[in-house]
Every structure is written in C-alpha cells, then in structure tokens.
Structure 1
Amino acid sequence: MNIDAIFTDLDAHTLDPARPRAQKIGVFAGRIIGFDEELDGVTADRVESLGGATVLPGFNDVHCHTAWFGLTLASIDVTALPGGLPDVYAALEKAAATTPSGEWINATGYAHRDYDGQYPELSRLDEITGDRPLFMRQTSGHAAIVNTAAMKRARILEPGFSDPVGGKVVTDAAGRPTGLLEETAQGLVQDLIRPYSLDTIVEAIDLATAYYAKEGITSFGDCGIAYGWIGHSPIEITAYLRAREEGKLRARAQLLPQADGLHEIAANSADGFGIGLDAGVRTGLGDEFISLGPVKFFMDGALSGETAALRKNYEGKDHPGYLQDDAEVLRKQILDTYASGWSVAVHAIGDAAVDAALANIVDAQTRHGRRAVPNRIEHAALVHDEHLTTLADNGIVVTPQAAFAEGIGDGMNASLGPERRSLIYRAKSFVDAGVLLAGSSDRPCADGNVLRGIEAYVTRKTRDGDIMGSAVECLTPDEAIAAYTSVAAEASGQGADKGTLSRGKLADFVALDAHPAEVAPNQIAQIGVRATVLGGRFTHDAR
C-alpha cells in the first residue's frame, strides 16, 4: 500500500486515550490513516522527518478576528510605545507626512492603561493630522479615538446629534466631544471607511494566516464577520472563499457572522422561522475548510473600558457599565435567531451580562433543543459559582481569554476590586465543573500566540507581576493544551474531525521543540514551532 506521507522521528502526544503516544504518523487524502506498527510495510510519496519534535494536535483559536488582525498588520501600530504619548504623536506625525490631504490615517493598538490612563488630546491630534481623518482603534476593539476631521465627516458635531443605541461619544465637562468613541459609536466613523474591498480583505486574510502558520495554528473562529462595527464587508464570506481559491488561507476557518445582519426572512409560516440571513443559510453550512459557526451577539462591552455590564458599580466609580441594547430586545433577537437554526455565541463580560446571556440561551435550548454546534458565552469574564452548574448542565461553551492577563490584567483587577477579582476570567473552575473551556485569544485585542496563551493559562501573570484574578484558576499545561485542541474542536462542533491525533481525523498538527509541561511555566511561550502541518501539508516549515 502506498500513501501520501509518513511523518517520522517524532514524539506525538495525541490526546486520544486509545493511543496516547506515537512515533510515526501516516497521512492519506489529508487525513491520518495510521500510526507506528500500523504503517509497517506501507510506502509513501513523502517521508518527512521531524527531527525528534514534540507533536501535538494543531492549535485552534476559537475566538479571534482574523481579517481585522490582518488589517492591523498594515496599520500604524501604537501599542505600548516606550516614550508614552509623545511617541504616539510622533508615529501619527510620520504617517501624516506621507498621507495625502483628505485621506484616512488608520492606527491600531492604543490602550489607555499603557499610557497612565490617558488619552491623546484632541487638539494635538487635529494639529498633527489636519484635514486627514483619523481612526485609531483601542486594543480592546470596544472604543476608538478619532480627530475632528473624522467627527465632521460622521456628523457627530452637528446640532441635535445624539448617541447611538449601545454606544457613546465621550464628552468633557463642557459637553465637547473628546474624540473617544465607545462601543457602537465607533460605527459612525467606521461606516465612512467600510466596506473594505475584497482585494483588501483577501490580502488581510493572507497576512494573518501566514502569521498563524508560524505559531502552529491550524484552525480558528473569526468571531463577528460581515456586519456591525466588527465586520468589514457584507460579502466577507466571499473574501474567505477567494482566499482559499488563491492559496491564501492557511488554516481552517469557522466564520461567526455578526448579528447586526440578521433580518426577517419571508419563509413559509409553517417553518416557524425567526430571523436569519438570506437563502436560509445557518450554522453548519460549509466543509472541513470553511464553515459557518454560531451567530455572534454583543450583550455588553469590555472591562478594559469599564463598559461591560456589572451587577454592581465598578470599584470606586458611580456606574456599572451598560448593555448594548434593551435587555428584552436582545433576548428576542437571540430567541428568534435560534429558532431559525443558528447556534449563538453571546459576548457577555460583566456578570449582569452573563446573567442575561445564560437565561436567554437556556430558554432557547428549552424551546428548540441543543445544536450540533454548541452555544457559547464569549469571554465569560465575570462568572459566579451559581453560573457554573447552569453552564455545565446545559452544555454551554465558554471562551475566556487568559491572554488578557499581561496587557490588561492589572487594570481589570483594579476595576473590579478585591471582593470580585477572584471571578475574573476563571479557568480551573470551568474545567473542574465540567464546562467546555475553549482556548481563544480575541486577537488582535490580545497577543494571539497560542504558546503564550497556554503560558498565560498556567501562570496568569500580569505586567506588574500580579496574578489576573485568582491563582486558584491556573491550569496545568495539559489542561491548557486541551483547551486549544481537543476541547476547542468539541466546542466548535468539529470534534469528529479534529482536536486529537486519531485515525480518520484531519492530519493537522504542530511540531514543537519541547512539550509545554517539560519547561518552566514562564518559558512556555519561548518554545519554538518547528513545523505546522495542515491536511498532511506544511504551512510552516522551520526544520
């Protein structure tokens, strides 16, 4: 028998209890056909030595923003510049010098906590940019900084302007806009830039997934495409199809449309259809390379900007954040969407938002049953003990980001205070309660390197040397690996095809210089990625 490839000289940790370890992997037609002695007497078109590497199932980041990340790679990066605000101004000055009059300046990566809680002064931004409109996105994605030219184009400065539902144009004590736009208010300016062209989005996917390949990522969930302030074009799925056709998609994509695009469909009344997307497409459509996942809903904002909806006020503040819309409106949208065959992924960060999201999902499942692709709580940042049983009993997935620890962990600890910090981005509590905890980064809102994410789950270390939340929530290296592999696959409804190295599953794996359990916890992120294999073919090869 002759097959496509045999990978040798490796130590595979398969995460499959039926065969936990292997030294050889055989591949035929993009899937694993056998291991070790099962390959005796078998020949192959290619025999690939991995030089003694540790092999794990390919990494799966179930909640990231791939096209957005690719666009940031071509934007001005103002992430934690060492010289503070003067360096931010200098970067913008450099960009303005090469940007034609009237053209947009796009920047990304601003986080006020990196700059002593300060935001750029609008007058200084205007001085630098002149008539060039500026859109500078916060790292969290839940706020943006713009200049006067941009606000004029968006008609924010006109008499009678009022904030959009679920967002805010921040003003100073005199009622003048500061240039900071929160949540849905960003769309007022973004809609002047979007939709991006297909060429631009395909190029962004190309850049992003080339980056992913170098980090061992073979699958991802692009969370919130096509619509709303997080989407890039109403035909964004076409960009993914084109990227695949042109060889520019180097990982398997589960696409989660943003709920803003849902609308009434004129289906037969007997079908009980709620709201959906045209032609009745829904979760599960697609193949092993590109498929539709759940619909993404925003229940609230972010802890970093203190817009997430809490039960009680932020520490030392007089407000608890806010929901993105009226609670009953959000509930009806979720129920109507679920009735149409979609699974749902509800962004809920504050505990008040988690309360509502859980109630809505449980109600939907009670009415219509569970789905092959599980429902999810995105981020699940502030979860109480009473939530754990509800999550586990109802098979609801959570996607908390340990990667937030380094960048905004200290700020979140301060925002919640000592009594609530133990609830922040829990991990071990989910695992012990039997809740599916799927590994994710929210990239580009945080570092998306999976090995760094695994290290963050293990250490939870913040930039100032503290622990994000509580140390009792630290995972073992094996638990963190499972989050990004076997659990991620199950949480995406794709456990039959990926997540473990098993005969018949897709031949997606990563070859590392060491196993994360074999190095010091604070050295996991430094492990080299020797190769990444997708369907038996290298997408990254540094042997």
Structure 2
Amino acid sequence: MRIDAIFTDLDAYTLDPTRPRAQKIGVWGNRIIGFDDELDGIDADRVESLGGATVLPGFNDVHCHTTWFGLTLASVDVTALPGGLPDVYAALEKAAATTPSGEWIEATGYAHRDYDGQYPDLARLDEITGDRPLFMRQTSGHAAIANTEAMRRAGILEPDFEEPVGGKVVRDAAGHPTGLIEETAQTLVQDLIRPYSLDTVVDALDLATAYYAKEGITSFGECGIAYGWIGHSPIEISGYLRAREEGKLRARAQLMPQADGLHPIAANSADGFGIGLDAGLRTGLGDDLISIGPVKFFMDGALSGETAALRENYAGKDHPGYLQDDAEVLRQQILDTYASGWSLAVHAIGDAAVDAAIANIVEAQKRYGRRAVPNRIEHAALVHDEHLATLAEHGIVVTPQAAFADGIGDGMNASLGPARRHLIYRAKSFVDAGVPMAGSSDRPCADGNVLRGIEAFVTRRTRGGDVMGSAAESLSVDEAIAAYTIEAAKASGQGADKGTLSRGKLADFVALETHPRNVDASKIAQIPVKATVLGGNYTHQTP
C-alpha cells in the first residue's frame, strides 16, 4: 500500500483519548490514515521529518474578520504609536503626501485608550488631509473617525441629517460633529468606499491567510461577511472562491453572513420560510475548505467604546449603552431567521444584550429544535452566574476573547468598576459549568496569534499589569488549547472532521518547538511555530 505522506520525528499530542500520543502520522487524501505501528510496511510519496517538534491539532479561530484583517495590512496603521497623537498625525501626513487629491485615506487600529482617552482633533485632521476623505477605524470595529470631507460626502453635515438606528454621530457641546462615528453610523461613510472589488478581497485573503499559516491556524470563522458595516462586498463569497482557485486561501473558512442582508423569500407557504438569502442559501452549504456557517446578528456594541448594552450604567457615567435596534425587532428577526434553517451567531457583549440573546436563542430552539451547527453567543462578555446552567442545558456556545486582556483589559475593568469586573470575559466558569466555549480573537480587533490567545486564557494579564476581570477565570494550558482545537471544531459543527488528531479526520496540525506546558505561562506566545500542515500539505514551514 502507498499513501500520500508520512510525517515522522514528532511528538504529537492528539487530544484523542483513544491514542493520546504519536510519533508518526500517515496521510492519504487530505486525511489521517493512521499512526505509528499502523504505518509499518506502508510506503509514502513523501516522508516529512518535523525535527522533533511538538505537534497539536491545527488551531481554529472561530471568530475573526479575515478580509478586514488583510485590508489592515495594506492600510495606515495607527495602533498604539509610541509618540502619542503627534505620531498619528505624522502617519496620516505621510499617507496624504502620496494620496492623490480627492482620493480616500484609510487607516486602522486607533484605540482612544492607547492615547490617554483622547481622540484626534478634527481641525488637525482636516488640515492634514485637505480634500482627501479620511476613514480611520477604531480597533474594536464599533466606531471610526472621519474627517470633515468624509462626513460631507456621507451627508452627515446636512441640516436635515437623521442618525441611523443603532448608531450615533458624536457631537461636541455646541452640537458640531467631532469626527467620531459609532456603530451603524459608520455605514454612511463605508458605503462611499464599498463594495471592494473582488481583486481587493482576494489580495486581502492572500495576505491574511499567509499570516495565519505562520501562526499555526488551519481553520477560522469569518464572522460577518457581505452585508452591514462589517461586510466588504455583496459578492464576498465569490472572493473566497476565487482565492481558493488561485491558491491564496491557506486555511479552512466558515463564512457567517451578516444579518443585514436577510430579506423575505417568496418560498412556498408550506415551507414555513421566514427571512433568508436568495436561492435558499443557508448554514451547512459547502465543503471542507469553504462552508457557510451561522448568520451573524448584532445585539449591541462594544465595551471599549462603552456602546455595549448593560443592565446598569457604566462606572461613573450616566448611560448603560444601547441595543442595535428595538429589542422586539431583534427578537423577531432572530426567530424568522432560525425558522428558515440558519443557525445563529448573536453578538452580545453587555449583560442586557446577553439576557436578550439567551432568551431569543432558547425560544428559537424550543420552537424549531437544535441544529447540527450550534447556536452561539459571540463574545458573551458579561455573563452572570444565573445564565450558566441555561447555556449548558441548551448547548449554546460562547466565544469569549481572552486576547482582549492586553489591549483593552484595563479599560474594560475601569468601565465596569470593581463590583462588576469579575463578569468580564469569563472562561473557567464556562468550562466548569459545561458551557461549550470556543477560542477566538476577533482579529483585527485584538492580536490573533493563537499562542498569545492561549497565554491570555491562562494569565489574563493586562498591559497595565492587572488581570482582565478576575484571576479566578484563568484556564489551565490544556483547557486553553482545547478551546482552540476540540471546542472550536464542535462550535463550528465540524467536530467529526477536525479538533483532534484521529484516524479519518482532516490532516490539519501545527508543529511547535515545544509544548505550551513546558514554558512559563507568560512565554507561551513566544513559542516558535515550526510548521503548519493543512490536509497533509505545508502552508508554512521553517528550515
């Protein structure tokens, strides 16, 4: 018998209790065909030595924004510049010098907490950019900064301008726009730039997934495509197909359409169809490389910008954030979508939003049953003890981002105050309660390196030396690895094909210099990735 490849000289931690460790892995037809003694007497077209590396199942980031991340790699980066706002202005001046008159300047990575809570001065931005419109996204993605030219083109400066539902144009005491636009109001400016061309989308996926390969990522969930302020083109799926055809997609993608695109479908009345996408497209379509996942809904905003919907006011503030629409409107949209065969991925960060998300998902499941691809709460940033048993009973997945600890952990602690901070991005409580919990980064809103995410699950260390929320929510190294492998696969409805190194599963794995248990927890992110293998083929390899 002859197979495609045998990987040797490795120490595999399979996460499969029937065979916890292995020293050789055989691959045939993109899947694992056997281990160790099962490969005796079998020849292979390729024999690949991994140089004694520690091998784990391929990493799976179930909530990220890959096209967006790829675009940021080609944008002006203003992330935590050491010289403060003068450095931001300097970066924009450099971009303006090479941008033709009237053309857009796009920047990304701004976080006011990195700049002592300050936002750029609109008059200074206008002086730098002139007649070039500016759109500068905040790291969270839930707000952006626009110059006067961009706001003029978007109609924001018109005397009869009305703010969109679920968004806000922030104004000064005199009622003048400051340049800060929140949530759905961003769409007013973005729609002047979008839709991006398929060439642009494919180039972004090429850059982004090459980056993923260097970090051991073999699967990801693209959380919110095609529609709304988070999408890039109404034909964004075609961009993924083209990237695949051109060899520019280096990881398996589960695509989650943004709910803004859903609309009534004229199906037969006997089908009980609510709202959906044309041709009956729904969760479950696709193959091992590209598949359609849940629909992404926004219940609220972000803690970093204090737009997430809380039960009580933010610490020291006179407001509790807000939902993206009327609560009953959101509920009916979710029920109608689920009735049409879609699984749900509901963005809910504040505890008021989490209350509504859980109630809506439970109601949908009671009416129409569970789905092969589980329903999820994206972020689940403020979950009370009273919610844990309900989440576990109904199999609702949560996707908290431990990676937020470094960039915005201190700010979130301050926004919630000492009495509520223990609720922030819980992890151990989910694991102990039996709540399905998958690892994710929300990249580019946070560092998407999975090893850094594992480290953050273990240490929860913030940039200021504190811990995000409570130290009691820290995971063990093994629990954190499971979140990005076994649990991530289950959360995507793909546990039969990935998540462990088992015979018959996809041959996706990462080779590390050492096991994360073997280093100090604060050094996990520094472990070198020696190779990444997707379906038995290298997507990344170091000498």
> Which band: TM-score by shorter chain?
over 0.9
Does the residue aligned with 1:230 lie in a helix, a strand or coil?
A: coil
Q: Using the alignment, how far apart are the partners of 2:368 and 2:162 within structure 1?
A: 39
State the match for 1:441 in structure 2. 441
Q: Using the alignment, how far apart are the partners of 1:205 and 1:485 within structure 2?
A: 22
- 5+ unaligned residues in a row in structure 2: which ranges? none
Counterpart of 1:147, as a letter, is N
State the match for 2:462 in structure 1. 462
State the match for 2:190 in structure 1. 190
What is the CA distance between 1:324 and its match in structure 2? Answer: 0.2
Q: Using the alignment, how far apart are the partners of 1:387 and 1:318 within structure 2?
A: 26
Deviation per residue, 1:315-353 (Å, 9 max, x gap)? 000000000000000000000000000000000000000
State the match for 1:13 in structure 2. 13
State the match for 1:163 in structure 2. 163
Percent identity for Structure 1 against Structure 2: 85
Residues 201-350 of structure 1 aligned to structure 2 (within 5 Å): 201-350=201-350
Deviation per residue, 1:93-114 (Å, 9 max, x gap)? 0000000000000000000000
Whether 2:403 is the aligned partner of 1:410: answer no
Q: Using the alignment, how far apart are the partners of 1:438 and 1:141 within structure 2?
A: 21
State the match for 1:90 in structure 2. 90
Q: Using the alignment, how far apart are the partners of 1:266 and 1:330 within structure 2?
A: 22
Residues 528-539 of structure 1 aligned to structure 2 (within 5 Å): 528-539=528-539
Does the residue aligned with 2:180 lie in a helix, a strand or coil?
A: strand
What is the CA distance between 1:35 and its match in structure 2? Answer: 0.2
What is the CA distance between 1:534 and its match in structure 2? Answer: 0.2
State the match for 1:488 in structure 2. 488
Q: Using the alignment, how far apart are the partners of 1:151 and 1:2 within structure 2?
A: 64
Q: Using the alignment, how far apart are the partners of 1:160 and 1:132 within structure 2?
A: 24
Q: How many residues align?
A: 543
Does the residue aligned with 1:446 lie in a helix, a strand or coil?
A: coil
What is the CA distance between 1:42 and its match in structure 2? Answer: 0.5
Whether 2:143 is the aligned partner of 1:138: answer no
What is the CA distance between 1:3 and its match in structure 2? Answer: 0.4
What is the CA distance between 1:454 and its match in structure 2? Answer: 0.2
Deviation per residue, 1:13-40 (Å, 9 max, x gap)? 0000000000000000000000000000
What is the CA distance between 1:160 and its match in structure 2? Answer: 1.2
Whether 2:401 is the aligned partner of 1:401: answer yes
Does the residue aligned with 2:501 lie in a helix, a strand or coil?
A: coil
Counterpart of 2:18, as a letter, is A
What is the CA distance between 1:162 and its match in structure 2? Answer: 1.3
Q: Using the alignment, how far apart are the partners of 1:326 and 1:450 within structure 2?
A: 36
Q: Using the alignment, how far apart are the partners of 1:272 and 1:315 within structure 2?
A: 45
Does the residue aligned with 1:207 lie in a helix, a strand or coil?
A: helix
Q: Using the alignment, how far apart are the partners of 1:345 and 1:307 within structure 2?
A: 19
What is the CA distance between 1:501 and its match in structure 2? Answer: 0.1
State the match for 1:425 in structure 2. 425
Q: Using the alignment, how far apart are the partners of 2:67 and 2:331 within structure 1?
A: 29
Q: Using the alignment, how far apart are the partners of 2:423 and 2:380 within structure 1?
A: 10
What is the CA distance between 1:496 and its match in structure 2? Answer: 0.3
Counterpart of 2:120, as a letter, is P
What is the CA distance between 1:252 and its match in structure 2? Answer: 0.2
Whether 2:126 is the aligned partner of 1:102: answer no
Residues 40-59 of structure 1 aligned to structure 2 (within 5 Å): 40-59=40-59
Residues 452-531 of structure 1 aligned to structure 2 (within 5 Å): 452-531=452-531
Does the residue aligned with 2:86 lie in a helix, a strand or coil?
A: helix
State the match for 1:154 in structure 2. 154
Q: Using the alignment, how far apart are the partners of 1:472 and 1:511 within structure 2?
A: 31
Q: Using the alignment, how far apart are the partners of 2:199 and 2:533 within structure 1?
A: 27
Counterpart of 2:299, as a letter, is M
4+ runs deviating over 3 angstroms: none
Q: Using the alignment, how far apart are the partners of 2:328 and 2:409 within structure 1?
A: 32
Q: Using the alignment, how far apart are the partners of 1:166 and 1:83 within structure 2?
A: 34
Q: Using the alignment, how far apart are the partners of 2:228 and 2:78 within structure 1?
A: 24
What is the CA distance between 1:535 and its match in structure 2? Answer: 0.2
What is the CA distance between 1:416 and its match in structure 2? Answer: 0.2
Q: Using the alignment, how far apart are the partners of 1:192 and 1:171 within structure 2?
A: 22
State the match for 1:63 in structure 2. 63
What is the CA distance between 1:529 and its match in structure 2? Answer: 0.1
State the match for 2:81 in structure 1. 81
Counterpart of 1:5, as a letter, is A
Does the residue aligned with 1:193 lie in a helix, a strand or coil?
A: coil
Q: Using the alignment, how far apart are the partners of 1:515 and 1:263 within structure 2?
A: 48
Counterpart of 1:351, as a letter, is D
Q: Using the alignment, how far apart are the partners of 2:491 and 2:172 within structure 1?
A: 44
Deviation per residue, 1:196-248 (Å, 9 max, x gap)? 00000000000000000000000000000000000000000000000000000
- Structure 1 length-normalised TM: 1.00
- 5+ unaligned residues in a row in structure 1: which ranges? none
Q: Using the alignment, how far apart are the partners of 1:435 and 1:510 within structure 2?
A: 26
